[in-house]
Amino acid sequence: MYVIPKSPVGMVLTAAAVVFAISPEARKFTRRMAVKGLAGVLSAVDQLKASSSAAQGQWKQLLSEAKQADSEQQLCDHSPSFYDSEIEPVPFAAEMKNPSPAVNVLNDDYLKKQYAEFEKHP
């Protein structure tokens, strides 16, 4: 019982099997290309491993420097430098010279007034 390939992929695979079965040059060429392809993949994996280990080493060094800087800062500085305890707090309303009243922006009269001012200044 023979199996006849019906799809284009089946025909290509059948033709490739026949060529490989008959031609020693095709087998040598395919083997050579497979070895070169596998060598390329292994080389890429080695490069990826080397770059990831280098990045990991740099990350560890950065973390250790940050921890060291943080511990040195904690030893040297016990109070925040931006807080002055000698200044008395001033109420917010006293700082404002002209406080504006609250405006309801959804008020129809307010919107009409704003629209009229907008039309005056094109």
Rounded Cα distance between 24 and 112, Å, is 91
Express each pLDDT in 102-117 by its tens digit: 666 667 787 788 888 8
Check pLDDT > 90 for residue 101.
no
Question: Is residue 45 pLDDT above 90, yes or no?
Answer: yes
Please compute the mean of the pLDDT values over residues 15-30 and round it to a whole number.
Answer: 89
**DSSP conformational letter for 86:** T
Contacting residues for 20 by C-beta, under 8 A, at least 6 apart: 26, 27, 30
Q: 120 pLDDT exceeds 80? A: yes
Note the pLDDT of residue 16. 87
Q: Is 30 exposed, middle or buried (0-12, 13-18, 19+ CB in 10 A)?
A: middle
pTM over cut 0.85: no
Residues 65-77 pLDDT 10s: 888 887 776 655 5
Q: How confident is the model at residue 1 (pLDDT cuts 50, 70, 90)?
A: very low
